[in-house]
Amino acid sequence: MISVSKLLCDLDAEGDGLRYDAADESTKSQIRDEKQRRPVVVWNVTKQCNLYCDHCYAAADTDIADGELSTAEGKALLDDLADYGAPVVLFSGGEPLVRQDLEELVAYANEVGVRPVLSTNGTLITEERAASLKAAGLKYAGVSVDGLPERNDDFRGLDGAFEGAVRGIENCLDAGLKTGLRYTITERNAPDLEGVVDLLTDVGVDRFCFYHLDYGGRGTEIVDADLTPEDRRAAVKRVCDMTRAYHDRGEEIETLLVGNYADAAYLVEYAREHMSEAQARRVYDYLRVNGGDPTGERVADVDYQGNVHLTQFWQGYSLGNVRDRPFGAIWEDESNPLLRQLRNREAHLKGKCADCRYAGVCRGASRLRALTTEDDLFAPDPQCYLTDDEVHGPAPFDAGTDVANPAD
Amino acid sequence: MERLDDEVDAPRGATSREWELFVSEDPAEPLTHAGSVSAPTAAVAREQASALFAHSVERLWLCPADETRRFQTAEQSLVADDAHADADATMDHEEMAAETLQGDAE
Ligand code: SF4
């Protein structure tokens, strides 16, 4: 994830549970360093969901899958993640709140030292549930809202889903739970972006994560539902403009972009065009340390049946199953040539990405989108919206700039 | 045989069949397990596995996960006792419907 508010407005958000910048941790103890190299693990605790959203990557529906991990197996998985040093577990689904043992699992994650955070549609969060999750030690809840009421409800397949999510957010905030918004940008809901942020800041939300669509999940319609690269660029520019406008007014909202590391390249270009050369350099240096697309490295997914995936969106391929082998053993097993190649992807990228001057901060963006649309794991990401002029040419800045002492 | 008496019989696929993948990068070396792909048929599984591994392997086998019997020693089991004893951890349909949008109930 790329923090727009941090990069453009120098907002240092307090620990949000989802690691952003490894550089911040580099002076701390060795254990901390090791944790920084371990992936954030998304765990889809169930396939079951009370909604039916158009773009669901997990193909969730109203039924559970056969052989979902039980409470005991879930705890064993959390032990396994703790042993391996995973810093964060993101409880996801389906809808994680349909699991009655969610609080028990959250409490257990906390107990074994893996920071528990949650991704939810919010419509099952009653006052009681918010309070019990907080008591169990949940550190953060990300609630999905994908447009203003009409558009959101249509998309989620339930009238009142928007209001329900807002009530859920209010219940979390009242319970003292840090809560943020998840907004997946599509062609349909891109116009609502500022409206949703305005509405939810009034409710008290101050953290907004904007997700780009990745091409897993419910069929290929997903590709048609996506923005064109040009519209995506315009939407990302609006996120940047909006973030700066809020900060100029003294409202310190945190905004993040997830799922398309071409955004990293764009942010450098944006800072150069709309701010200053020095700001562009700072942005670039931070992003270089951040390291580009995290697939198969700094993010992992375990599905409801225990299959380990390269990201939560990449459900069609699994590296192995935690019922057969510990998570760490699967994740470290570079006898798997795919894993090895992905971790060394710079050597394999083709076309526009092969000689992109931003490859160091982007790393070819989504390999899953390339695979889905081009049938080629190392083809350029079809959702890269940078122009040829922008991506070609010498490195944007000399290497080795000192972030702490920028040249301005 | 008694040693390998823990059978991992939980399914690996939920939305379509799952296919275990075995690959070798060097034709002289034995095949190794390299995860699995989800696909409705062997032909589609082959396409998907080829797209993922075409760059790196010389040989590729696909085995339907639901025809693969997995055995291990009891110590390797994720949990010691019956893994499915509490498999009713989620809400049933009625409860889920009744709980949805109850956030504003005073
Ligand atoms: S050309 Fe490739 S590496 Fe460069 S910004 Fe676009 S997606 Fe990223």
| Smallest Cα distance from A252 to chain B, Å | 28
**Whether residue A263 has pLDDT greater than 50:** yes
Residue identified by tokens 């998907």 is: B48
- CA–CA separation, A117 and A400 (whole Å): 35
Kindly give, in sequence order, each residue whose CB lies less than 8 Å from that of residue A344, ignoring residues fewer than 6 positions away: none
- CA–CA separation, A202 and A207 (whole Å): 12
Three-class DSSP labels, A132-200: HHHHHCCCEEEEECCCCHHHHHHHHCCCCHHHHHHHHHHHHHHCCCCEEEEEEECCCCHHHHHHHHHHH
Provide the token pair at B16.
């379509």
- Angle, CA A339 vertex, CA B12 and CA B49 arms, to 5°: 55
Give the dihedral sign, CA A252/A254/A255/A257: positive
Output the pLDDT for position A318: 97
Sheet holding B59-64, edge to edge: A317-318, B32-38, B18-24, B59-64
Answer yes or no: are the C-beta atoms of A167 and A129 closer than 8 Å. no
Output the pLDDT for position A333: 96
Least Cα distance to A342 among A298, A287, A399 occurs for A298
Answer yes or no: are the C-beta atoms of B60 and B19 closer than 8 Å. no
Least Cα distance to A124 among A84, A76, A156 occurs for A156
Answer yes or no: are the C-beta atoms of A306 and A69 closer than 8 Å. yes
- CA–CA separation, A241 and A227 (whole Å): 19
Output the pLDDT for position A403: 46
> Considering CB atoms only, which of A70, A158, A317 is closest to B37?
A317
Output the pLDDT for position A63: 77
> What does each C-alpha distance from A284 to A18, A229, A392, A397 come to in angstroms?
21, 22, 16, 8
- CA–CA separation, A49 and A33 (whole Å): 36
Q: What is the mean pLDDT of residues A209-222?
A: 77
Give the DSSP H/E element, type plus range, for residue A303.
Answer: none
Query: Mean pLDDT across chain A, nearest whole number?
Result: 89
Percent above pLDDT 90 for chain A = 73
- CA–CA separation, A192 and B64 (whole Å): 45
Beta strands of B1-106 (E only): which ranges?
6-8, 18-24, 32-38, 59-64, 70-72
Kindly give, in sequence order, each residue whose CB lies less than 8 Å from that of residue A235, ignoring residues fewer than 6 positions away: A185, A190, A193, A227
Residue to mutate (ligand 1; options A355, A358, A383, A385; most atoms within 8 A of CB) = A358
Output the pLDDT for position A223: 79
Q: What is the pLDDT of residues B2-58, one digit of tens each?
A: 677 778 877 777 778 999 999 999 989 999 999 999 999 999 999 999 999 988 899
Residue to mutate (ligand 1; options A378, A381, A389; most atoms within 8 A of CB) = A381
- Chain B residues 29-68 with a CB less than 8 Å from chain A: 32-39, 48, 51-53, 55-57
Give residue B52 CA to ligand 1 midpoint distance, Å: 20
Please report the number of interchain residue pairs, chain A to chain B, with beta-carbon separation below 8 angstroms: 166
**Among the ranges given (A61-70, A141-150, A225-234, A385-394), the one the predictor scored with the smallest mean pLDDT:** A61-70
Q: What is the value of pTM for the model shown?
A: 0.90
Give SS3 for A206. coil
Contact A265 CB / ligand 1 (< 6 Å): yes
Output the pLDDT for position A29: 46
Output the pLDDT for position A35: 60
Answer yes or no: are the C-beta atoms of A281 and A291 closer than 8 Å. no
pLDDT confidence bin for A342, thresholds 50/70/90 = very high
Give residue B54 CA to ligand 1 midpoint distance, Å: 23
- CA–CA separation, A152 and A134 (whole Å): 27
Beta bridge partners of A353: none
Output the pLDDT for position A36: 65
Nearest CA owner, ligand 1 atom 5: A262
- Angle, CA B80 vertex, CA B77 and CA B82 arms, to 5°: 100
Provide the token pair at A184.
């997946």
10 Å CB burial of residue B51 (0-12, 13-18, 19+) is middle
Q: Which residues of chain B have a CB within 8 Å of the CB of A300? A: none
Residue to mutate (ligand 1; options A261, A295, A356, A387; most atoms within 8 A of CB) = A356
- CA–CA separation, B47 and B44 (whole Å): 5
Least Cα distance to A94 among B96, B84, B79, B10 occurs for B96
**Whether residue B104 has pLDDT greater than 70:** no
B6-8 and B70-72: which strand pairing? antiparallel
pLDDT confidence bin for A28, thresholds 50/70/90 = very low
Nearest CA owner, ligand 1 atom 7: A364
Nearest CA in chain B to A376: B51
Helices (H), A47-160: 71-84, 102-112, 127-136, 149-156
Output the pLDDT for position B75: 85
pLDDT confidence bin for A26, thresholds 50/70/90 = very low
**Among the ranges given (A304-318, A366-380, A390-404, B35-49), the one the predictor scored with the smallest mean pLDDT:** A390-404
Contact A386 CB / ligand 1 (< 6 Å): yes
Mutation for testing the B interface, residue in A81, A303, A318 having most B CBs under 10 Å: A318
